[in-house]
Amino acid sequence: MIVTTASSAEYPTRRDFLFVATGCAAAVGGAATLWPFVSQMNPDASTIAAGAPIEVDLTPIAQGQDIKVFWRGKPIYIMNRTKKQIEEARSVPVSSLPDPQPDQARVKEGHDQWLVVIGICTHLGCIPIAHEGNYDGFFCPCHGSQYDSSGRIRQGPAPANLEVPPYQFVSDSKIQIG
């Protein structure tokens, strides 16, 4: 009553070819139709444009001060570290750190006093408070993670150091983040 396939034929028939070809065309067409529905959830052009690199002027930040800027919706600490802070950060044996990383790897060469880190605690995402805690760095009030003056985790539940965003020095007094 229903469809007769080529099960009894020696070779694949024209009908078999047509079935397979139609199926392939349908699969390609289906994928092509599905893609825009998935892709539309990615950031749109205005969001990408709003996430373009920003320039920050460093001249208003005196030694020992820090500011917070936003880039791509994330808070970024820009800290003008004192000599004492830099020395404290560099005198720690790197291997003793929970997330070993030398201070020199977290700042730009020739601009050692400038620390630029994303202010999101690597534990569960709160914003740590600057110039707090036992290491003259950052203290996260949510669960007590403590970071040092290089933004590295020293004690508490956070697993990793504060992330350093992509940035470069446009001039001695200006950086571009992103």
Q: Which residues bind another protein (CB under 8 A)?
A: 1-3, 35-37, 39-42, 44-47
Nearer to another protein, 6 or 142 (CB): 6
Question: Quick count: other Cβ atoms within 10 Å of Cβ 175?
Answer: 22
* DSSP bridge partners of 138: 130, 147
**The tokens 């092509």 sit on which residue?**
32
Assess contact for 98 and 151: CB atoms under 8 A: no
CB of 29 to another protein, least distance (A): 9
Tell me whether residue 49 or residue 62 sits nearer to another protein (CB atom).
49
Both tokens assigned to 14: 């024209």
The verdict on whether 111 is a catalytic residue reads: no
Q: At 47, list the tokens.
A: 């969001």
Choose between 46 and 96: whose C-beta lies nearer to another protein. Answer: 46
**Least distance from another protein to the Cβ atom of residue 55, Å:** 24
Minimum distance of another protein from residue 177's CB (angstroms): 23
153/50 Cα distance (integer angstroms): 31
Catalytic residues: 143
